[in-house]
Amino acid sequence: MKNIWLIARRELAAYLRTMSGYIIIAVMLFIDGLLFNAFAIPGTAKKSSEILADFFMLTSGITMVGAVFLSMRLIAEERQTGTLALLYSSPVHDLEIVLGKFLAALLFLCLFFTATLYMPALVAAYGKVSLGHIFSGYLGLLLVGATGLAIGTFGSALSKSQVLAAVLSGVMTLALTTAWLLGKITDRPLTDIVNGLAWWGHFEAFRTGVIHLKHVSYFVLVSFIALFSATRVLEARRWR
């Protein structure tokens, strides 16, 4: 655990020292604010809970895309600069490297979540919102962000270029995003399987203020598979 935290601190310091992370967060906030003003707020007939649900819907998509860009540098940059060999030579396991870098990216992504709190606060100022609804929505966003970062970590482990890492991660994320479209043209039981792969279907409950264990399990399982795969990739490269 100590090694994981040391790597996380090192990676988090790298995020805080460079402008790239701040730029990504700033762009995410800018787009989120624009979409919130354009799609969530308009319509006087909307209830506060509906506006809040729309906010979480918009933010979830931005979170997934932003996670891909935040995670593309995690391992690919180490290979680009040649510092991955130093990590290999240090007394740390591949799993600790992956978890440390993933944890740092997740902590940095939490800055984005913290900065978006003013939007639910605006809704609460002019209407009635449930704290449980806000908690559920942000829990869902945290799970979505963790899943996106885990997939991005896997994509970053596969490639030496950060651009290629972003492309690979984007393709995998897009596949999980648009899986529900395949569900519309397939028959059961394939329909249920395909729909179960789409992250959006599992986030739907969170944005409306409902927490289901099966939906939490989905995000945890996908994150686990992606991080496990990233670890195996590093193990394979270590012995080349």
Domain ranges, ordered by start, for the chain: 2-238
Q: Taking 90 as the threshold, does the pLDDT of residue 160 lie above it?
A: no
Rounded to whole angstroms, how far apart are CA atoms 38 and 109?
24
pLDDT in tens, 50-107: 889 999 999 999 999 999 999 998 998 888 777 777 777 777 888 999 999 999 999 9
Rounded to whole angstroms, how far apart are CA atoms 240 and 229?
17
Model pTM?
0.92
| Distance between first and last Cα of the chain | 27
Answer yes or no: are the C-beta atoms of 12 and 107 closer than 8 Å.
Answer: yes
pLDDT of residue 191: 74
pLDDT in tens, 183-214: 666 667 777 777 788 898 899 999 999 999 99
* Residue 131 CB contacts under 8 Å (≥ 6 apart), including other chains: none
Q: Locate the DSSP E strands across 14-93.
A: none
Q: Taking 90 as the threshold, does the pLDDT of residue 237 lie above it?
A: no
pLDDT of residue 221: 96
Give the DSSP H/E element, type plus range, for residue 235.
Answer: helix 213-238
Rounded to whole angstroms, how far apart are CA atoms 162 and 167?
9
Higher pLDDT, 44 or 6: 6
Answer yes or no: are the C-beta atoms of 32 and 54 closer than 8 Å.
Answer: no
